[in-house]
Amino acid sequence: MQPLMLSPALRAVDPQPQRPRDPAPSRLSYRMHRLWLTPLYRALLRVGLPAFALAFVGGLWLVDEGRRSGLVERLTELRRDLEERPEFMVTLLTVEGASVELAAQIRAALAVELPASSFALDLEALRQKVAAMSGVAQAEVLIRPGGILALRVTERVPAIVWRGPEGLWLLDREGHRVAPIASRLDRPDLGLVAGAGAEAAVPEALALYAAAEPVAPRLRGLVRMGERRWDVVLDRGQRILLPERGAVAALERVMALALAEDMLARDVIVIDMRNQARPTLRLAPAALEELRRMRGQPAGATSG
């Protein structure tokens, strides 16, 4: 029988012959191996421990105030260096699709200091600023390669002149302001609207202008009455009072009468179309007098 309880001291005195190595793992190594094969422990040791060590070392290094500020400084410097590389610099502002005056206005309004880094430019804010300008319908801002800040602008087209409380303005088809003008004579090709609330009904005014094409040379302008309906003002003080609804049709009716019976050439002051069922004419006093005379009625008598 092999010695079971041989103490190490005895073994040192009487060394045993070299026995083959025991292939069995010791209890400790067996347990360590099993622990190592435990998934949670393994994940903890392989990921958690290095991560913790890194965080700990980093934290130790950052404890010092000077190092921390130095790190921040270096980072900002690095960032600035990167931003100010010539590849990212914007040197030129181009404006496309705008007239010379509008382009000048846009440049003045934007007031971008060039050259600037493309990181420093807030394109969306620029775009909103341009789009908010009167006279600009749409705006696109982009940075083209080569350091070009390109503005692509769709200009508003003036369609009508508005005599408002702040003077004369050009309005586009939707009634947005385009530009102020000094004098009506600057744009004699466009129609004129006036009255409170006129700028809010520009599309209808344009339709009325189109319908009044036959009397265009005599047309002075349109007046918005009570912010709800239009008056057409012709020369010689003639007025056509249009209803609130169906104004274009009423005007077309008047135009048909004017063409057929030459009504507007007569001495009529007001053509009242407000009540569709009962159009009313108001004659000039002299013409009324003449009519009565022709009918053989005494002057001053009234009828109907």
Partner 1 sequence: MTDLYQSQRAMRRMRKAAMDRRLIAILDVGSTKIACLVLRLEGPELGAPEDGLGRMAGQATFRVIGAASTRSRGVRFGEIDAMQEAERAIRTAVQAAQKMAGQRVDHVIACFSGGRPRSYGLAGEVPLSEGTVSEADIARALAACDVPDIGQGREVLHAQPVNFALDHRSGLSDPRGQIGNRLSVDMHLLSVEASAIQNLLYCIQRCDLELAGLASSPYVAGIASLVEDEQELGAACIDMGGGATGISIFMKKHMIYADAVRLGGDHVTLDIAKGLQVSQAQAERIKTRHGGVIATGVDDRELIECGGDSGDWDRDRRRVSRAELIGIMRPRVEEILEEVRARLDAAEFEHLPSRAIVLTGGASQIPGLDGLVARILGQHVRLGRPLRVRGLPQSATGPDYAAAVGLCLFAAHPQDEWWDFDIPAERYAGRSLRKALKWFRDNW
DSSP string covering 227-266: TTEEEEEEGGG-EEEPPSSSHHHHHHHHHHHHHHH-GGGS
- SS3 label, residue 2: coil
**Nearest residue (CB) to partner 1, 41 versus 119:** 41
Q: How far is the CB of 15 from partner 1 (least distance, A)?
A: 21
**Nearest residue (CB) to partner 1, 25 versus 197:** 25
Q: How far is the CB of 26 from partner 1 (least distance, A)?
A: 9
**Nearest residue (CB) to partner 1, 3 versus 25:** 25
Footprint on residues 6-45 left by partner 1 (CB under 8 A) = 22-25, 27, 30-31, 33-34, 37-39
Q: What would the x/- binding string for partner 1 be over residues 233 to 262, using CB under 8 A?
A: ------------------------------
Rg for the chain, CA atoms, rounded: 46
Specify whether the CB–CB gap between 115 and 122 falls below 8 A. Answer: no
Q: What would the x/- binding string for partner 1 be over residues 124 to 153, using CB under 8 A?
A: ------------------------------
**Nearest residue (CB) to partner 1, 21 versus 85:** 21
**Nearest residue (CB) to partner 1, 24 versus 108:** 24
Specify whether the CB–CB gap between 81 and 105 falls below 8 A. Answer: no
Structure tokens that stand for 32 in this block? 């360590």
- SS3 label, residue 166: coil
Q: Within a 10 A sphere around the Cβ of 27, how many other Cβ atoms?
A: 8
Q: How far is the CB of 67 from partner 1 (least distance, A)?
A: 43
Q: How far is the CB of 18 from partner 1 (least distance, A)?
A: 16
Give, in degrees to the nearest 5, the angle at Cα 277 between 303 and 270: 60
**Nearest residue (CB) to partner 1, 25 versus 203:** 25
Q: How far is the CB of 46 from partner 1 (least distance, A)?
A: 13
Q: How far is the CB of 86 from partner 1 (least distance, A)?
A: 55
Q: Does residue 46 touch partner 1 according to CB under 8 A?
A: no
Specify whether the CB–CB gap between 204 and 251 falls below 8 A. Answer: no
- SS3 label, residue 38: coil
Dist CA 4 CA 304 (whole Å):
145
Calculated CA dihedral for residues 93, 98, 101, 102, nearest 10 degrees: -80
**Nearest residue (CB) to partner 1, 42 versus 245:** 42
Residues of the shown chain interacting with partner 1 in the complex, contacts defined by CB under 8 A: 22-25, 27, 30-31, 33-34, 37-39
